[in-house]
Amino acid sequence: MRHPLLVAVLIGGILAAAPLQAAFAQKAKKAAPAPEVPSLTKTYPEDLTDPLPTFAGGAEALRKFLLAHVIVPPFALTNQLAGAVDIEFVLHPDGRMDSIQVSNGACCGLDEEALRVARLTVGKWTAGKIDGTPVKTRVDLPITFRVANKNSRSIAYLAEMKAKYVSYQGSPEQAKDQQTYQEQVGKQPAPAQ
């Protein structure tokens, strides 16, 4: 007799626990996050995308484009200044670019030239993808200006040139150099679409 009673208590306990188990299972299902679908409004860092954002024709085409379109500003050229300028921009899934800015600059007109050339690359990029879906991506584009002067990267030399650049701005020499620079920019071939 004890066995049928024990079996009845066990069956009753199991039946009573079934709704609780179902409730816990539903709660567990609600707590589990759904797999993330790439957002069209979120901006992703470029290292999270696969493939990475790419310039039309690849890295070699970008290098050739930069070499063809960069004009070293007269002050930087005269004083043999070198430096790296990091440009940052947001690349949309359709290839549009916005928020183009200097994230880490140099001095003496190099930042402005790097921005000018970066703006010429609009429409030449393919967006990065996450799970095969093109996404809005933050892209870093380093542009390096190099010259033969070995002193051009020393801190003392750069400090001296920054001070010299302040007095150069607004001078007749700067106005003449700016006119020459604008003429060079005007003679450049338009970027191919």
Domain range list for the chain: 44-179
Contact between 95 and 136 under an 8 Å Cβ cutoff? The reply is no
Q: Are 83 and 109 in contact (CB under 8 A)?
A: no
Q: Which range, of 57-66, 98-107, 111-120, 162-171, averages the lowest pLDDT?
A: 162-171
Structural domain 44-179, CATH architecture: 2-Layer Sandwich (3.30)
pLDDT classification of 89: cutoffs 50, 70, 90: very high
Can you give the pLDDT at residue 192? 58
Identify the pLDDT of residue 161.
Answer: 72
* pLDDT bracket for residue 154 (50, 70, 90): low
SS3 content of the chain, % helix, strand, coil (to 5): 50, 20, 35
Q: Lowest-confidence range among 29-33, 118-122, 137-141, 175-179? A: 29-33
Omega cis (within 30) before 51: yes
Q: What's the mean per-residue pLDDT of the chain?
A: 73
Q: What is the pLDDT of residues 1-35, one digit of tens each?
A: 444 433 333 344 444 444 444 444 454 445 444 44
For the ranges 32-46, 91-105, 151-165, the maximum mean pLDDT occurs at 91-105
- 42 has a pLDDT exceeding 60: yes
Average pLDDT over residues 44-61: 81
